[in-house]
Amino acid sequence: MKKYLIKGLLALVVGGFTASCADKDGDYVPVGQQKATAYADAFKELIGGEVAPNHDWGFTKTSIVSETSQARTRVAETNSNEWFTGTNPKFVGLVKPADVTDREEEVVTKWFKDNRNPSSDPISLSTFFVQQVHFGDKVYTAIGNNNTEYSVVGGNQMDWLCAYSDTEREVLNYYPYEERAKSVEGHDDHINNFNTSEPKRDDPDNSDGFHNMQLMMYSSTARFGFQESFNSQNDRIYYNYVLKAIEVDGVVGYYVGFDYESHGNQGDFNPDGYYDDRIVKIVPGNGIYEYTPGGGSSSSSTSTRTDRIERRRLVSQGRIFCEDLGTDAARMTKSDIDFNDAVFDAKIWRLGQYDVTYVNGTYSSETDYLTGIYPNGLENGKFKYVAEIRLLAAGGTVPLKIGGNYGFEIHSKFGEGNNRTITHTTIINTMGAPSQANFSTTVSTETCDAVTVEVDITSLVAGKSEIGLDIIPIDVEWVSQTGQSVGELTADFGKVPQKLCVPIGTPWIYERIPITDAYKDFASYATSRTPLFWDGTKNESLLYPSIPEGMTAETGETGDVNTNPYHDTVVTEGTTTTTTVTETVLWEGEITFANASGGSNSEEFTLYSKDFAVGDKMRIYGEATGNDPWVSIHAVNNGSWINYAGCVVTSPYTDIVVTQDMINAMTLKTALWGKFCKVTKICKVVTTTN
């Protein structure tokens, strides 16, 4: 754009000069409005028409979703095929199901495509494998905001498959591995390995990073669902599924078919009644690990360390081209529009901290994001949002500030980063031979290295459901013969843009070169959104060399804040704590209790107070044989049997915490009473930590 160095203009913005404008025009028109109007006229002349009514100028939005609202995975393994090796103690004895064949996919997919709105054939499983069968390519269309038609492949958007669960595992010991189920409030249990791009059936070793199978433990086949990722409704689960028994060449298997649905800003995509958008197979899990009682005494040690992690998850990224609308509205022409008045790369990051626990050096679990970590954060201080900005060029000569209240003036920041003083009247990293041929005004120029700055934008994100790079404020201070004004550059939907968002790495234009001269397809891009001008025909000689060095684009999953690339940093490394558990057999045998207590349904044995301390555990191994199974520890006190402790019997064992009263009673005759259970062993368990 053309630059003018104006001295002493503020002296003109007074008295009769301004009044005469008001008298002539009837009402005073603010400088910012004058400039925007003149710029819009020049832009339309540049592109030879009106802008596309549905243009977003590259500033696409990303949904802001709390990760805590997602379906949870308690036992679905993130290292999916770990159990194939048989070395994980959690899965000892599991039998890997046969791979899904091409023939099986063909028959099952055809069944779901041919049968509309079928009924389910329910089965009841708590441990089962989920296998990939079919990833549909059916296209759904809908009319959304601004009468825009959207098309999506349903299967591509169903990337959080989940199953119902009302239990979870409680780890009792890692070496040897022991666990038991406990009841929890019902929820949707994320089938973790199916939150990916298209899973591959023909990749059993997971060699290309995809997953084709998932083991679910303490889960349920009572309900299945999916989360939809296209329509800003990621916290909603759709339960559009059918569980069906289908015979393939004489063998009956169970298959779950899903029918795509979505509702939101991009319109309503309704189910068509055919459950073929995604299909998975459900295979019962056989041979689950069970504890085998032993004898004598044994010890195991577990080392635990908990680290505090900060995760920076990418929300949006791109390169921003800015047009500051010039120094004088009256002189704006289409030849001024070069979109290099400010050029910078930007990434918006969401920061959250959580604790990760390692057991014996191996990842074990992690907490939800921690509340109150960021004093000015969102969701009770769980998340902070920052804009990482890398300044590349400043082709304007008016003050231009990035980042709002927490931001900076771009010219002076270039100076700070390059150890010099640079005023706003200096052009930075846009001059070259093409510019000199068209640039008639003498101004100061600089060549500078890139400068990186981080700006807290948490307050700007508050209250928004989706954001893009246009959330970063870019303010310009305009001065003209009729006044001065500060305004924010805009890229409103379907209106003339004052800034553009392009891919990181896109070259900017030399000074005083219209954007249409360098990027030949820009006019078409502006009027019809195609082609993307940075991928089209270019005059390379009019594009500034690729210095200074910009950001490196993040690669990986895209779509919403919960699937985008992220980086973890250890904030605080925890202290390793070693816990040793020693188990000593005190009594071993086998007794089955019927529906009675005492008499023939009791077993006398001797326990010694010297063997116990308050807080030790008495571990009773056994299993239920009927309803309401329980056992109790009795001792004789003043000639009568007194109940000192009791518990409901669960497999493989149940622990009772030793009290002082129990220790006092152990010098007398002791007996085990119970009903509807079988007991095989009683042990003392001592836990020490250092």
pLDDT in the model for residue 344:
98
pLDDT of 421 strictly over 90: yes
Tens of pLDDT, residue by residue over 618-676, are 888 888 888 888 888 888 777 778 888 888 888 888 888 988 888 887 766 677 888 88
pLDDT in the model for residue 170:
67
> What is the rounded CA–CA span in Å between residue 345 and residue 322?
12
> What is the rounded CA–CA span in Å between residue 543 and residue 505?
12
pLDDT of 320 strictly over 70: yes
Tens of pLDDT, residue by residue over 553-593, are 998 765 666 678 889 999 999 999 998 888 888 878 888 88
Q: Which of 129-143, 159-173, 450-464, 511-525 comes out lowest in average pLDDT?
A: 159-173
Tens of pLDDT, residue by residue over 138-169, are 999 988 877 888 888 988 888 778 898 877 76
Cβ 686 vs Cβ 605: under 8 Å = no
pLDDT in the model for residue 535:
95
Query: What is the C-alpha radius of gyration for the chain, rounded to an integer number of angstroms?
Result: 35
Q: Which of 82-86, 335-339, 506-510 comes out lowest in average pLDDT?
A: 82-86
pLDDT in the model for residue 665:
77
Q: What percent of the chain has pLDDT over 70?
A: 79
pLDDT of 176 strictly over 80: no
SS3 18: helix
Cβ 265 vs Cβ 233: under 8 Å = no
Q: Encode burial over 2-15: b for 16+ CB neighbours within 10 A, e otherwise.
A: bbeeeeebeeeeee
Cβ 226 vs Cβ 249: under 8 Å = no
pLDDT of 615 strictly over 70: yes
pLDDT of 313 strictly over 80: yes
Q: What percent of the chain has pLDDT over 90?
A: 40
pLDDT in the model for residue 8:
31
pLDDT of 113 strictly over 70: yes
pLDDT in the model for residue 483:
61
pLDDT in the model for residue 653:
86
pLDDT in the model for residue 348:
96
Phi, psi of 518 (to 5 degrees): -85, -45
Confidence band, pLDDT 50/70/90 cuts, at residue 502: very high
pTM over 0.85: no
For residue 482, the one-letter residue type is T
pLDDT of 364 strictly over 50: yes
Confidence band, pLDDT 50/70/90 cuts, at residue 25: very low
pLDDT in the model for residue 396:
92
pLDDT in the model for residue 667:
63
Confidence band, pLDDT 50/70/90 cuts, at residue 442: confident
Confidence band, pLDDT 50/70/90 cuts, at residue 522: very high
> What is the rounded CA–CA span in Å between residue 123 and residue 665?
50
Give which of 466, 344, 483 is closest to 414, Cα–Cα. Answer: 344
Cβ 639 vs Cβ 669: under 8 Å = no
Name the percent of the chain in helix, strand, coil, to the closest 5. 20, 40, 45
Phi, psi of 179 (to 5 degrees): -150, 170
| Average pLDDT score, the chain | 81
pLDDT in the model for residue 481:
56
* Residue 458 host element (H or E): helix 458-461
* More confident position, 686 or 24: 686
3-state SS track over 61-93: CEECCCHHHCCECCCCCCCHHHHHHCCCHHHCC
Q: Quick one: average pLDDT of 335-350?
A: 94
* More confident position, 367 or 300: 367
* More confident position, 605 or 544: 544
Q: Quick one: average pLDDT of 374-395?
A: 95
Tokens of 330: 């009256």
pLDDT of 610 strictly over 80: no
Tokens of 227: 């989360």
Q: Where are the alpha helices (DSSP H) in 393-531?
A: 410-417, 433-436, 458-461, 515-518, 522-528
> What is the rounded CA–CA span in Å between residue 608 and residue 594?
28
pLDDT in the model for residue 83:
46
pLDDT in the model for residue 594:
80
SS3 96: coil
> What is the rounded CA–CA span in Å between residue 477 and residue 397?
10
pLDDT in the model for residue 70:
43
> What is the rounded CA–CA span in Å between residue 567 and residue 570?
10
Give which of 345, 361, 327, 643 is closest to 477, Cα–Cα. Answer: 327
Dihedral, 494, 495, 501, 507 alpha carbons, nearest 10: 120
Tokens of 444: 């100061």
